[in-house]
């Protein structure tokens, strides 16, 4: 991959990683409700799960979606339903830690969520379609893709979780936490609009 293409890809990956979406909104909510340290498994699950999905896509997952569009549609539908469920849980919670959910999303849950996260699937398919160079460069492209996405996903996850955690003092009052959780739930639902179109 030449330098201009690499810079274009890195820019695309950074914007995709830092823009509000299901992962980032859930990480902010986790940071606010549980703190940064308890959200580390969630951060790790998002990062590793995303990179595994990138690897799968470079190795042929995007071709599967192109060959069988119903698989992509099914994945998107499952992801949207799961996000609606999470938004409902966040919306109803006065504090996530007090609503029968004493811990943040686990590493495994966060990693598996990447498989059905509509934003993630769209970002990966778009980037693989636009920036891979063909079968003969597959392994080199895979290394570049995973490296760039690992860095931007990890830093973005940490920033969004730290943002939520930094708000925790402000959210110590029950009313403020309630407003925050309701807002996160609404934003999470709103993030579905772009992926449903």
Span 64-85, average pLDDT:
74
Structure tokens at 196: 């449903």
At residue 180, does pLDDT exceed 60? Answer: yes
What tens digit of pLDDT does each residue of 154-173 get?
999 999 999 989 887 777 77
Residue 135 to residue 73: CA distance in whole angstroms: 26
118 closest CA partner among 19, 14, 13, 22: 22
Span 57-78, average pLDDT:
74
The structural domains of the chain, with segments of one domain joined by +, span 19-196
In sign, the C-alpha dihedral spanning 57, 61, 63, 69 is: negative
Beta-carbon contacts of residue 68 (< 8 Å; ≥ 6 apart)? none
Average pLDDT, the chain: 80
The least confident of 50-59, 72-81, 152-161, 170-179 is 72-81
In sign, the C-alpha dihedral spanning 73, 78, 79, 84 is: positive
At residue 109, does pLDDT exceed 50? Answer: yes
pLDDT of residue 96: 47
Span 31-53, average pLDDT:
93
- The length of the chain, given as a count of residues: 197
Q: How confident is the model at residue 107 (pLDDT cuts 50, 70, 90)?
A: very high
């Amino acid at each position: 991959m030449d330098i201009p293409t690499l810079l274009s890809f890195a820019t695309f990956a950074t914007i995709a990683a830092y823009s509000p979406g299901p992962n980032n909104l859930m990480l902010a909510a986790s940071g606010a409700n549980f703190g940064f340290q308890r959200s580390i498994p969630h951060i790790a699950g998002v990062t590793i799960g995303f990179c595994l999905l990138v690897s799968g896509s470079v190795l042929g997952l995007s071709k599967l979606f192109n060959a069988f569009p119903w698989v992509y549609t099914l994945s998107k539908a499952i992801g949207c339903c799961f996000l609606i469920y999470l938004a409902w849980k966040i919306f109803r919670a006065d504090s996530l830690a007090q609503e029968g959910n004493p811990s943040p999303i686990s590493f495994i849950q966060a990693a598996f969520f990447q498989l059905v996260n509509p934003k993630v699937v769209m970002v990966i398919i778009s980037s693989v379609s636009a920036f891979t160079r063909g079968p003969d460069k597959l392994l080199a492209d895979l290394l570049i893709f995973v490296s760039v996405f690992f860095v931007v996903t990890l830093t973005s996850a940490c920033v969004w979780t730290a943002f939520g955690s930094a708000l925790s003092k402000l959210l110590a009052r029950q009313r403020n936490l309630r407003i925050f959780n309701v807002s996160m739930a609404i934003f999470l639902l709103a993030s579905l609009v772009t992926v449903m179109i």
